Amino acid sequence: MRRALLAAACGAAGAVAARRVARFRPPEGAPGPADLDGLDADAAAARLAELVRIPTISTRDRDELDTAAFERFRQRLTELYPHTHRVLAREVLGDGALLYRWSSGVDLPPLVLMAHYDVVPVAGQEWSRDPFSGLVEDGVVHGRGAIDDKGALVAILEAVESLVAAGFTPARDVHLSFGNDEEVAGVGAKLAVDALTSRGVRPWAVIDEGGAVVSGVFPGVPGQTAVVGLAEKGLLDVELVTTDPGGHASAPVRGGAPARLARAILRIEENPFPARLHDVVLGMVDALGRHAPTGYRAVFAHARFLRPALALVLSKASREANALVRTTVAITELEGSKARNVLATRARAHANIRIALGETVESTVDRLRRVIGDPGVELTVVSGNDPHRCPAPTTRRSRWSGTPSARCTPTRRWRRT
């Protein structure tokens, strides 16, 4: 009797699992290809290339900032997109953030489209082409900012320009918010938020730069995947410092400042943050896993019940997938003695940390201290912000993706003074 009951239970569980896998398929009625009628891709690429040639390099040192380049960029936009600047209201916020309003005449919550036009420096990097050449070759625009993020900015303006030229009026107001200091965690986007908030504007939707179009990042899913971000990890910059009396290099001592710092770095490297499958990442598994072959789909269909194992699988699948499931730490700067024959009295490392959803600046720093296990290593928070707080996704399904909906809100910011 007991065996019969066990067999029946196993059979019922197997049937439930089989039905779940059978239902775990891409949604029907997938959208068709985009309507590209009227798009002059070559002309759009040429405009992007021209904007790439303007070196709008962000820097935290205001004395090194080429303000003329930023002004030239803003002026060139008005010339390249005349219809947009004829119809949309434009204002410059702070040192150069741009905020446009495309009025619809309808009192509905607006759509906000975001991008940024500053770029990071190119010094110390190897480029196969001049990073500010704007070279168009084999259908590709080469240069710093072509992807991050002038490409998105141009895509927005190309769409708006063509629609305005055709006499189109949007169904709701559209705001374009283009930051000028995103790469240095500046205030451009905050100024736009403050401006809209002060006017009582609460957006219907906000679309900013997200992931890239990638291949081979998600295990078992063939072809290209356009990554859509529904939440944002926290960003934390921490300095690790050790000190020592120093002396002449002819008489070194064991365990000096550089050695203790190196030991701390190795401990961080050897003890990564745990991999966890947050609800937002689970939504990504739900959406992408439906396009995987049967064997993978059998796993992804049960992702909610296999979180620890699946988080481990994703952490080993690729660098990008690993970053989805855990807090990551990258040592980006190292500094020791200023002279070849002098022992360092101070050694410093900079850790750039991306905090996973569900963790905080405080919990991250606490864990780093425990992992390092050396009170002689001083940890200082340079700046940081907690990840967005994301409540558990609802059971309501989106018609276009099949993924649970989620709403995320920003949390605390930290900055050294």
What does the domain layout of the chain look like in residue ranges? 41-209, 231-415
pLDDT of residue 134: 93
Q: How far apart are the first and last CA of the chain?
A: 72
Whether this prediction's pTM lies above 0.95 is answered by no
Q: How far apart are CA 157 and CA 80, in angstroms?
A: 9
The DSSP letter of residue 119 is B
pLDDT of residue 403: 35
Active site residue 50: no
Q: How far apart are CA 109 and CA 60, in angstroms?
A: 35
Cβ–Cβ under 8 Å, residues 347 and 378? no
Q: How far apart are CA 106 and CA 218, in angstroms?
A: 41
Active site residue 286: no
pLDDT of residue 404: 35
* Closest C-alpha among 21, 26, 161 to residue 102: 161
pLDDT of residue 14: 52
pLDDT of residue 393: 45
292 by DSSP, 3-state: which?
coil
pLDDT of residue 15: 54
Q: Of residues 118, 173, 279, 386, which has the active-site annotation? A: 118
Strands 224-226, 346-355: pairing kind: unpaired
Q: What is the DSSP string of 395-411?
A: SPBPTTT-PBP---B--
Q: CA torsion 118→327→350→320, rounded to 10°?
A: -50
Q: Of residues 158, 161, 173, 182, which has the active-site annotation? A: 182
* Strand (E) or helix (H) holding 240: strand 234-243
Q: How far apart are CA 72 and CA 59, in angstroms?
A: 17
pLDDT of residue 289: 86
Assigned token pair, 416: 């050294």
Name the CATH topology of 41-209: Aminopeptidase (3.40.630)
Supply the Cα-derived Rg of the chain in whole angstroms: 25
Question: What's the farthest any 2 CA atoms get from each other in the chain?
Answer: 85
- CATH number belonging to domain 231-415: 3.30.70.360
pLDDT of residue 102: 98
pLDDT of residue 51: 97
pLDDT of residue 405: 36
- Residue ranges of the alpha helices (H) in 81-218? 82-87, 150-165, 188-198
Mean pLDDT by 10 residues, the chain (417 residues): 48 55 71 76 95 95 91 97 97 97 96 96 88 91 93 96 95 97 91 96 91 78 83 93 92 92 97 94 88 84 88 87 93 94 95 95 96 96 85 38 40 48
275 by DSSP, 3-state: which?
coil
